[in-house]
């Protein structure tokens, strides 16, 4: 078992602690930690009630803070030179199945302390503790794409930014039903979480959202507002029977932006009809010529919604959710499968958590996973050989094992094994992570 006691360079010390949720005046160590995180991402440092609100969200999420400090520093009065937080949330693995994931967030290292092993120590310690606690896998959303593969993380989902031209008759291809009504953002306090939870269990790759999302959808986030109204609009779709099925929040970009644009903040729908109705609403807002959305699923649904698919333009696409399997049997048993079959996987893992030869046998859509030597019929050679980062990347089915074989990332010892694994892992809905953390 990898060690859970951190080894830092001389002159540095690690402090792990849980924020209490109390105001920064009563929990100054947590307050200074959060301010340091925001500074690390070049954001204004929150103060007063804005800082207290963030501390409340951190406590609600059950976060544990890990800070690296100069030896002899006082965490109550001195800033950390490295920050890291971890907390548990369920990951939807498809077909309404979930596994617990250790989410990694708030990772920063001071420019004056780069390349001293701080991130490596923080990450390896967190992964070892999570594995020791029996958490099947870890997850993160990365600001840079080249940092986390060395720790065994693989990119499992993608996300895109879109622009939709809604000038003229931006007609939808399918029927539109029900009604969409403008509401005050505060009216989403109870409805928003309920609709999100249902959408979450329809979306493989979705992580149960952070506590702060309640503040975003009700327009009660203090940080960055400076006492001003943020101009958030909210609309709810009700089906023909009057039942709420989805909602959208958005902002007007301002009259100095041309063409006249609204920016979607959050959009969650629990039915296909709700998705169509919400987009029909957005496409027909008075005076608006363009709709943008930075968090759009990378499934090309939007193009098919409109009669003229060229109205939709992808302006940016990138990796989003990164996964890292810690317990191979628990992770693979924690999802359903599209096809039955049997494969032996040889997994390499520099940190040791997932390393070994594993026999994956799927029957009736359920997996049995054991070390290859314990499989019925005795040990056999591997069908596929791959790094834990690549097994983690294909785990949800959003990335194809056959594509990674063609890319040279997966070694195939029996012809067709990668395609068989891809077929077994296939989902009945597009894979998408609906939140960031």
Q: What is the pLDDT of residues 9-34, one digit of tens each?
A: 889 999 999 999 999 999 999 999 99
Q: How far apart are CA 249 and CA 145, in angstroms?
A: 29
pLDDT for the residue numbered 135: 98
Asked if 288 and 339 sit in the same domain, the reply is: no
Closest CA to 128 of 323, 321, 324, 322: 324
> What pLDDT does 376 receive?
78
Considering the domain architecture, whether residues 169 and 131 belong to the same structural domain is answered as no
Residues 344, 408 within the same domain? yes
Structural domain count of the chain: 3
Q: Residue 360 domain-assigned?
A: yes
Q: Residue 397's closest CA among 347, 312, 336, 343? A: 336
Residue carrying the six token digits 């609709």: 195
Question: What does the block give as tokens for 202?
Answer: 């329809």
144 found inside a domain: no
Tokens 């696409």, residue located? 317
- Tell whether 358 and 246 lie within a shared domain: no
Domain membership of residue 48 (yes or no) is yes
pTM of the model: 0.96
CATH code of the domain in which 376 resides: 3.30.1050.10
Note whether 172 and 263 are same-domain residues. Answer: yes
* Last residue within a domain, chosen from 319, 350, 370: 319
pLDDT score recorded for residue 351:
98
- Shared-domain flag, residues 236 and 206: yes
CATH number of the structural domain spanning residue 75 = 3.40.630.30
Phi, psi (5° rounding) for residue 32? -70, -35
- Please state the length of the chain: 437
Same domain, 360 and 236: no
* Token pair recorded at residue 315: 């302006």
In this prediction, the residues of the chain whose per-residue pLDDT falls under 50 are none
CA distances from 234 to 157, 219, 227 (A): 27, 10, 20
Specify which residues 141 forms β-bridges with: 321
> Which of 102, 135, 168 delimits the end of a domain?
135
In terms of Cβ atoms closer than 10 Å to its own Cβ (0-12, 13-18, 19+), residue 387 is buried
CB-count burial class (<10 Å; 0-12, 13-18, 19+) for 330: middle
Give the pLDDT of residue 390. 98
Do 210 and 232 lie in one domain? The reply is yes
Among residues 103, 110, 22, the alpha carbon closest in space to that of 63 is found at 103
Distance CA 277, CA 101 (A): 33
Q: How far apart are CA 281 and CA 284, in angstroms?
A: 5
Provide the token pair at 322: 């990164």
Q: Would residue 56 count as lying in a domain?
A: yes
Kindly state whether residues 178 and 290 are assigned to the same domain: yes
pLDDT tens-digit map of 168-217:
999 999 999 999 999 999 999 999 999 999 999 999 999 999 999 999 99
Q: Which of 291, 319, 347 is the last residue of a domain?
A: 319
Task: State yes or no: cis peptide before 259, omega within 30 of 0.
Answer: yes
**Same domain membership, residue 285 and residue 174:** yes
Same domain, 307 and 171: yes
Q: Rounded distance, CA 23 to CA 51, Å? A: 8
Q: Which residues contact 393 (CB under 8 A, 6 or more apart)?
A: 154, 155, 156, 323, 399, 404
What is residue 377's predicted lDDT score, i.e. its pLDDT?
74
Q: Output the CA–CA distances (angstroms, integers) from residue 404 to 9, 11, 159, 388, 418, in the order listed.
A: 37, 42, 19, 13, 8
Q: How many helices (H) and strands (E) does the chain have?
A: 11, 19
**78/82 Cα distance (integer angstroms):** 12
Full domain range(s) for residue 131: 12-135
Nearest CA to 428 out of 205, 204, 155, 196 is that of 204
The rounded distance, in Å, linking the Cα atoms of 251 and 258 is: 15
Estimate to the nearest angstrom the gap between the alpha carbon of 244 and the chain centroid. 25
Q: Is residue 5 part of a domain?
A: no
Does residue 333 sit in the same domain as residue 282? Answer: no
Domain assignment present for 152: no
CA atoms in the 13 A half-sphere facing the CB of 275: 14
Is residue 6, in this structure, part of any structural domain at all? no
Over its C-alpha atoms, the chain yields an Rg (Å, rounded) of 23
Cα 171 to chain centroid, rounded: 32
The contacts of residue 1 (CB under 8 Å, 6+ apart) are 128, 131, 132, 352
């Amino acid at each position: 078992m990898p060690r859970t006691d951190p080894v830092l360079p001389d002159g540095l010390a690690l402090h792990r602690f849980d924020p209490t949720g109390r105001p920064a005046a009563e929990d100054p160590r947590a307050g200074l930690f959060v301010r340091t995180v925001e500074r690390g991402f070049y954001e204004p440092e929150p103060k007063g009630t804005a800082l207290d609100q963030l501390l409340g969200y951190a406590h609600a999420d059950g976060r544990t803070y890990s800070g690296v400090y100069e030896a002899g520093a006082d965490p109550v009065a001195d800033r950390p030179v490295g920050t890291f937080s971890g907390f548990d949330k369920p990951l939807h693995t498809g077909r309404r199945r979930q596994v617990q994931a250790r989410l990694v967030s708030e990772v920063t290292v001071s420019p004056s302390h780069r390349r001293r092993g701080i991130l490596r120590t923080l990450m390896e310690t967190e992964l070892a503790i999570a594995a020791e606690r029996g958490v099947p896998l870890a997850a993160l959303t990365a600001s840079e794409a080249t940092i986390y593969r060395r720790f065994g993380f693989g990119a499992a989902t993608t996300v895109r930014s879109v622009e939709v031209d809604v000038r003229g008759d931006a007609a939808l291809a399918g029927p539109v039903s029900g009604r969409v009504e403008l509401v005050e953002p505060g009216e989403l306090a109870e409805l928003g979480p309920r609709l999100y939870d249902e959408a979450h269990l329809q979306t493989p790759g979705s992580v149960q959202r952070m506590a702060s999302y309640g503040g975003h959808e009700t327009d009660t986030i203090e940080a960055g507002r400076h006492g001003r109204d943020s101009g958030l609009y909210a609309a709810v779709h009700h089906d023909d029977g009057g039942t709420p099925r989805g909602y959208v929040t958005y902002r007007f970009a301002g009259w100095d932006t041309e063409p006249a644009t609204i920016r979607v903040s959050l959009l969650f729908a629990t039915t296909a009809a709700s998705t169509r109705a919400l987009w029909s609403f957005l496409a027909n807002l008075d005076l608006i010529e363009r709709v943008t959305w930075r968090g759009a699923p990378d499934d090309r649904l939007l193009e098919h919604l409109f009669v003229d698919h060229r109205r939709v333009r992808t302006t940016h696409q990138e990796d989003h959710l990164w996964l890292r399997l810690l317990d191979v049997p628990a992770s693979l048993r924690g999802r359903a499968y599209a096809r039955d079959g049997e494969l032996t996987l040889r997994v390499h893992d520099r940190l040791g958590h997932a390393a070994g030869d594993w026999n994956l046998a799927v029957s009736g859509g359920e997996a049995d996973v054991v070390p290859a030597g314990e499989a019925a019929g005795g040990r056999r050679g591997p069908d596929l050989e791959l790094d834990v980062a690549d097994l983690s990347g294909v785990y949800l089915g959003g990335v194809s094992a056959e594509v990674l074989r063609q890319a040279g990332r997966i070694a195939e010892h029996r012809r067709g094994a990668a395609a068989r694994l891809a077929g077994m892992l296939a989902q009945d809905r597009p894979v998408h992570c609906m939140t960031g953390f």
